[in-house]
Structure formats: C-alpha cells, structure tokens
Structure 1
C-alpha cells in the first residue's frame, strides 16, 4: 500500500522518458500486432467481465475487487489473460462451461503502452480470443487509469465490426483529457485551466481527446451503461488526473448520457493509485455490475 504513493511520481518519470524519445501523437490507426486463433470450447451463458489495469501496474491492482466478488458469491470463476508486448494472447486458466459471472483479469506485459491505438489493439486481441474460444457476444469492462484507453480505442477500432458489445463499463481514474504533468507527451497532457460545461464538454481538448470525439456517435449505438469513478483528494484532482479530465467522459457519450453516472470519492483514499483499494469503490463497482 505504501508504494502506491509513489506511483504518480513514477508515472511522471516514465512520461518524461517517453516524451524525450517520441513527441508524436498516438494514431487511431490499427497497428500490426500478432494475433492467435483459438478453437471454440463452448458458449458461456453468463456475461464475462474484463479488468484492465493501469500504467506501471498489473492484474493484481484490481484483485481487491475481483476477490471481493468471489467471496460474496457473485462469481465462481476468475481467470487471467496475459498479453505480450507484440499483442500475443495467452490464457492462464480455463473458464468452466457453467461459470457464473466469469471474471477475466487482463495482464499487459508492456504496462507503459502510451500508443493508445496499440493499447486498443491489445484489448481487441483479448476480446477476439474470448469470442473465438467461448462464443461471447457481450462483455462488461472495468478499467483503471491507462487501462481506460484500451477500452476507448477498442470501441473506436471495432465500431461496425462483428465484435462483442460492451454491456457495462466502469471507468476508474480515467485521464480522458490528460494528466496534470507538464513533462508528458502532448496527447497525454491535460490542458491548463480545464473546465467543463453542463454537458461535460471541456473548454480545451488535448490531441487524444479530439481523436475520441468519434465516440459521440458510437456510444448512442452501443447503449453501454457507464459508471465513472472519480477521486478527489483535494483541489479537484486525484493527485494525478484533474477531475475535469476524468469527468469529460460524459461528453464522449454524446446523446447517450442517460446511460451515464458518475460517483466521486474524497480524501486520502481517493488518491489515483488507491481507488481500486477503496472499500466504497469496491462496493459500488460490484453493485453496478451485478446488482
């Protein structure tokens, strides 16, 4: 737990190193990464829920939520999928045929992937493999921090394709309009004096947010129910992401904002790296997904 306090500082350092080597914005195009074909085993009866972790992290960052769900009997299946830096998918464990609300913890071997299009392709490979192996047509997703970009770019890259629909989406500490670090790449940096209108529209948009504006057409078609979890440890920020950046997710839903809700948490336990350990957050995520 004490190491969580240094996560924002480490992320800042990583952002700085990346910025020194590459000042180009992430492309919405689909990068070439390896995919794996799987034989169909059986069709799952329950909608699986995928967990995507953030930068400098791994699947263990969300196990507080997944273990709580299993402990209270909501699920009887927790498995993992590892994704290599080149996008190759590896199943760790097998989902049983009669699994109840199966959970899949997604684990990125490259956990500092700031090319959002490639992060989207990582998610695509995972979901495509699940579709091939288990015949899924719907999924729920829970994402923390950088993991949210995998989800958003999955939606962009697979619009109008025969891919599983996102039924419910939980966004935790999402930096949709950037982070509050001056030394980051331009498409990662939150604009100065960022403010939102009543519709959630930001007064300024970074490059990544502009790319995601296409979601205003996609979300109304998908009808995804969205829960946005925002932390405020003081000064309208979770310590890394300004609340205005996280809450700008609302505008990306376009006319489908009726399927959107935001929950805000305050104090030290609302810190960017602590939100997935926050008991109130865990309770609210479980209620939203499976109540």
Structure 2
C-alpha cells in the first residue's frame, strides 16, 4: 500500500505545477510543451523533470483544455524560466481542433499573464497541430509571438497524423518536396506564408532503421517540413540508434541538450 500510494502521488505530480525555485540558467522565454496523439502527463512529464534538474527552467504551470476548448491554467506561466505543460482532455482530437485550442491557450497567456513571446516543444501530431496554428495565427499581433518551435517525430505528410498503422507511411520525395502530398500537407503548404518570419524551427527526426523511420513516423514524412519553410529559419537534426524511437524522442538525453542549445542561442 505504501508503494502504491507513492506511485499515485508521483503520477499526480506529473500533471501539477511546481513551486517557484531559484536557478541561474533559465532559458530565454516561457516554453509550452505540447503532447502528441493520445498523449498525457507522461508524454513530457519526465523531460520537464530533467530540465528542472538541470536548472533550465521550472514547471510553473499546467494548462488543461477540455473537449470544448475551454482553458484552465493552474500555476503561474509568467515566472522567470516558466515551463508550461499542455494537457488536452480529448487527446485524440483532429489537428484543426487542437490548432484552435492552442489559439485559446496563447490568447489566455497573453491576456491574463502578459506573455508576449514564447517557445514551443511539440511531439508527433502535436507538432502538426502547432504548425497548423502557425499557418492560421502565426502573424496575429494580438497573440504571443512564437519565437522558436522544436518538433519531435512529426508526421507532416501522413494521411492521418498521429494514428498508428501496421505500415509506416513513406513519402516519395523530389527536390521540391513530397510527390504525393496528403490533404493536410497541401493545406499547410497553401497557408505557409502566414507563419511569422520571426519563428525559428528545429525539426528533430528519429532514425532506427537506416534512413526509413523512427518506428512510427517515416523520415520522409517528418522531413517534409523543410519544404514548407525558408532555409534561413529551418534547421534539422536526425538522431540515430535504439534511443531514437518515436516514443523515446522526448526521453533521449542527447535531444535534451540539443533542445537547450537551440533555445538558448
């Protein structure tokens, strides 16, 4: 019973903000952590703990969004070094719904907490939802500026981003991008000029099988992002090996340091 109680307490802590702590090495802006399809408090919970341990920030707020898009903020997103965990109640909602919910989140952060600039780290389908948000609202001056976006294992050219299938969707490529663009990718491409030119991107891709995939998302689908953006704002990192699986991209310590390097420069 003691062990069970401890596990329950630890589980609850993964979805709670922490008390403000004093560290010297805070990153430059608040960071929003957006989970992927069917994600939950575990998706970025351990990465947040590692970042805190390294002194890179403090998990000062948790934002929960219910199935109707209503936003509830616990904690304080405005403190120095704020790291903000996003949890969607409907964690299997379509990209378009999540993009609107992200707008609600960022609107709340600016209106209620005076957050004007923010960085985002997003995994899998969550990254596609963030990109969809940027194509719709990236230049909206009433919302916080997204200064930097880190994406992990994002299925930009999958037919249904986030949903697993027995066969990993490969995307034949040309020098101009996917030869068979999905409906979502075509829409993102059409609206890409609405993305703020101030937003910088780091696209992190996992490779566990010699250039094919991270075990869930093909490298070609993840790499499709580069053809939507100007080369001056886009950077790409391929992580190889057993720790580069789709689910391990937010548990990989090498990736932690690459994220820190990108966000702190």
TM class by smaller structure: 0.7 to 0.9
Alignment of 1:3-14 (within 5 A): none
Alignment of 1:23-172 (within 5 A): 47-95=29-77, 99-113=79-93, 115-161=94-140, 162-172=142-152
Change (3 A) 1:261 1:134: same
Unaligned runs of 5+ in 1: 1-45
Alignment of 1:168-187 (within 5 A): 168-178=148-158
1:264 matches 2:238: yes
Alignment of 1:176-255 (within 5 A): 176-178=156-158, 194-198=171-175, 201-219=177-195, 221-235=196-210, 236-253=212-229
Contact 1:144 1:173 in 2 (8 A): yes
Change (3 A) 1:290 1:64: farther
**Which deviates more from structure 2 when the two are superposed, residues 46-55 or residues 154-163?**
154-163
**How far apart are the structure 2 equivalents of 1:245 and 1:108?**
24
Contact 2:152 2:249 in 1 (8 A): yes
Query: 1:191, CA displacement in angstroms?
Result: 9.7
Change (3 A) 1:134 1:238: same
How many aligned positions are there? 235
Secondary structure of the corresponding residue to residue 276 of structure 1:
coil
Aligned equivalent of 1:19: none
The TM-score normalised by the length of structure 1 is 0.74
Q: Deviations over 1:99-119 (max 9, x none)?
A: 222110001111111x21111
Contact 1:74 1:100 in 2 (8 A): no
Contact 2:204 2:237 in 1 (8 A): yes
Secondary structure of the corresponding residue to residue 121 of structure 1:
helix
Secondary structure of the corresponding residue to residue 36 of structure 2:
coil
* Higher RCO (C-alpha 8 Å, min separation 6): 1
Q: Following superposition, which runs of at least 4 residues in structure 1 exceed 3 angstroms of deviation?
A: 189-193
Secondary structure of the corresponding residue to residue 216 of structure 2:
coil
Aligned equivalent of 2:15: none
Query: 1:64, CA displacement in angstroms?
Result: 2.7
Q: Deviations over 1:181-220 (max 9, x none)?
A: 9x979xxx99965233345x1111011100101343133x
Query: 1:159, CA displacement in angstroms?
Result: 4.4
**How far apart are the structure 1 equivalents of 2:61 and 2:147?**
20
* C-alpha RMSD of matched pairs (Å): 2.5
**How far apart are the structure 1 equivalents of 2:202 and 2:58?**
24
**How far apart are the structure 2 equivalents of 1:164 and 1:139?**
7
**How far apart are the structure 2 equivalents of 1:190 and 1:119?**
25
